[in-house]
Amino acid sequence: MKEKNNQKGFIQVPLLITIIAAVLAIGGGSYFGVKQYKNYQAGQNEKDKQAQELSAKQQQTVDDTQSGKLNTDAFGDFISPKIGKTTPTQEPTITTPSLKPASSIRYIKDTTDLYTITGERAYADTGKDISRGTQIKFISEGDPFSKIEVNNQEFWVFDHDLVLTAPPAQNLSAIIKQWRPIVAYVECDFRDLNTHELYSQVRGSGVVFDFDSQITVVTNRHIIADKNNYQPFICRVKLPDSSDTFTGQKFTGGGPLDVGFIDINNPNVYIKYITSASSPSYLPQCTTKPSLGESVLILGYPSIGSQTDITVTEGMISGYDGDYYITSAKIDKGNSGGAAILVNDNCYLGIPSASVVGQIESLGRILDVRVMRGER
């Protein structure tokens, strides 16, 4: 009985040890927590101090720069690549690109049609076109059209036909080189059908084409028909890069048009090649009406020029006369029937046909190739 009472009056040793350990743990944890907080507060104060020092240095740098004390080589943003060292006079600003300005200058990329627009999407072809490289006044951008001003009138063209810089000028030498091989010298003999006596000989120019595997010279009707409308006995055809002489004895006229055709009797490999689609001389025919002022080349064999190679004259579209274009390019006896080339599009414009002589100057006529094709 006595031993039991003693157990109630005292805390057992294991329990006492446990209580002491818990007290020490709580006290130690509190100590270390306070120390960690003090360390954090000291670090934060140090960061604030460094930030204040950096701000002060930056302000001093700006002040020194404005006063000229600082070498701005250390600051690339303060140096202009064109005029050397500069110092900022104001805070830099960020700008956004502006829309295309109204009434600015544009150029026509390729010869294109002019349109009018009514309603929201309806448009109509005005029957007018504008040539490659023409400088125009740009008014506003639409979709897919842009409004432009031409001769104080407003029209619409497709957006993709406008460029900011003028297209490079066509290389005239390269154009001539392309067309030269197919420009022919033509000489036709007119003989009496009974006596075969030569009573007339006509010289002119022509261009050779392949019409459904028939090599044909396109020339003027007045080359293959005399004043009585008699056809030649034979025509001889020569090309600048060939020593061969080709002949033709089948002739076709273009009715009231001044166009004639000579079928070649003896085509060889060379003439077949230069008129084939694989030849560099296989070039397009013009499909649209040129504008006034567009450049034109006339290639042929005028009587006052070379008889063994082409002679080239240059001019512009000066006006329109029914089925013909009026040109300032010289067309003389002999180069009629040759090739008229529209420079901007590098295409076959038609046949140089005649020259109308005034008191001082003369103006040539070019038969429109579209008329020859029956398109007009």
CATH number of the domain at 193, please. Answer: 2.40.10.10
User: Which pLDDT belongs to residue 182?
Assistant: 95
Question: What are the φ and ψ backbone dihedral angles of 124, each rounded to 5 degrees?
Answer: -140, 140
User: Which pLDDT belongs to residue 43?
Assistant: 56
Residues 15-44 have a mean pLDDT of 50
Show the domain range for 224: 178-274
The DSSP call for residue 83 is: T
- Does residue 196 sit within a domain? yes
361 has a pLDDT exceeding 60: no
| 253 and 210 within one domain | yes
**What are the pLDDT digits (tens) for 255-307?**
788 899 999 999 999 999 999 876 766 778 898 899 888 999 999 998 888 77
Contact in structure between 294 and 344 (CB atoms under 8 Å): yes
112 has a pLDDT exceeding 80: yes
Band (85; pLDDT cuts 50, 70, 90): very low
| 270 and 182 within one domain | yes
19 has a pLDDT exceeding 60: no
Residues 312-333 have a mean pLDDT of 91
- Does residue 364 sit within a domain? yes
H/E stretch holding 337 reads none
Give CA angle at 367 (263, 281), nearest 5°. 55
- Residue 94 CB: number of other CB atoms within 10 A? 4
- Does residue 27 sit within a domain? no
Give CA angle at 262 (260, 266), nearest 5°. 170
| 223 and 155 within one domain | no
| 301 and 248 within one domain | no
| Residue of higher predicted confidence among 168 and 310 | 310
| Residue of higher predicted confidence among 38 and 137 | 137
Mean pLDDT of the chain: 75
| 223 and 247 within one domain | yes
181 has a pLDDT exceeding 90: yes
The DSSP call for residue 121 is: T
17 has a pLDDT exceeding 60: no
| 320 and 234 within one domain | no
Q: Is the dihedral of CA 323, 326, 330, 333 positive or negative?
A: positive
317 has a pLDDT exceeding 50: yes
| 367 and 301 within one domain | yes
- Does residue 92 sit within a domain? no
Q: Is the dihedral of CA 104, 109, 111, 114 positive or negative?
A: negative
User: Which pLDDT belongs to residue 59?
Assistant: 53
Band (91; pLDDT cuts 50, 70, 90): very low
Alpha-carbon torsion, ordered 126, 129, 133, 136, to 10 deg: -30
**What are the pLDDT digits (tens) for 242-261?**
999 999 999 988 678 889 99
- Does residue 91 sit within a domain? no
How does strand 214-219 pair with strand 234-238? unpaired
Band (355; pLDDT cuts 50, 70, 90): low
CA distance between the termini of the chain = 142
52 has a pLDDT exceeding 80: no
Question: Cα separations (Å) of 177 from 27, 49, 180, 204, 257?
Answer: 105, 81, 5, 20, 29
Residues 138-159 have a mean pLDDT of 83
User: Which range among 82-86, 131-135, 155-159, 367-371 shows the weakest confidence by mean pLDDT?
Assistant: 82-86
Q: Please state the domain count of the chain.
A: 3
Residue 155 carries which side chain, given as an amino acid letter? F
Q: Which of 309, 337, 330, 365 is nearest to 224 (CA)?
A: 337
Residues 129-144 have a mean pLDDT of 80
User: Which pLDDT belongs to residue 265?
Assistant: 94
Give CA angle at 273 (267, 276), nearest 5°. 105
77 has a pLDDT exceeding 80: no
| 183 and 151 within one domain | no
**What are the pLDDT digits (tens) for 203-237?**
999 999 998 889 999 999 989 988 888 899 999 99
| 182 and 153 within one domain | no
| 266 and 192 within one domain | yes
Strands (E), 229-294: 234-238, 245-253, 260-264
**What are the pLDDT digits (tens) for 154-176?**
888 888 888 887 777 678 999 99
**Residue 118 is part of a domain; what is its CATH number?**
2.30.30.40
User: Which pLDDT belongs to residue 213?
Assistant: 87
92 has a pLDDT exceeding 60: no
Residues 2-11 have a mean pLDDT of 44
Residues 30-59 have a mean pLDDT of 53
- Does residue 137 sit within a domain? yes
- Does residue 214 sit within a domain? yes
Q: Who contacts 332 (Cβ-Cβ below 8 Å, separation ≥6)? A: 302, 303, 304, 305, 355
User: Which pLDDT belongs to residue 18?
Assistant: 52
Q: Who contacts 288 (Cβ-Cβ below 8 Å, separation ≥6)? A: 111, 113, 129
Contact in structure between 299 and 342 (CB atoms under 8 Å): no
Q: Which two tokens stand for residue 36?
A: 């960690």
Residues 48-71 have a mean pLDDT of 51
User: Which pLDDT belongs to residue 146?
Assistant: 86
Percent of the chain past pLDDT 90, that is, above it, reads 32
Q: Who contacts 248 (Cβ-Cβ below 8 Å, separation ≥6)? A: 217, 234, 235, 237, 262, 263, 264, 265
User: Which pLDDT belongs to residue 372?
Assistant: 85
Helices (H) and strands (E) in the chain, counts: 6, 21
User: Which pLDDT belongs to residue 11?
Assistant: 46
| 333 and 247 within one domain | no
Task: Write down how long the chain is.
Answer: 376
- Does residue 17 sit within a domain? no
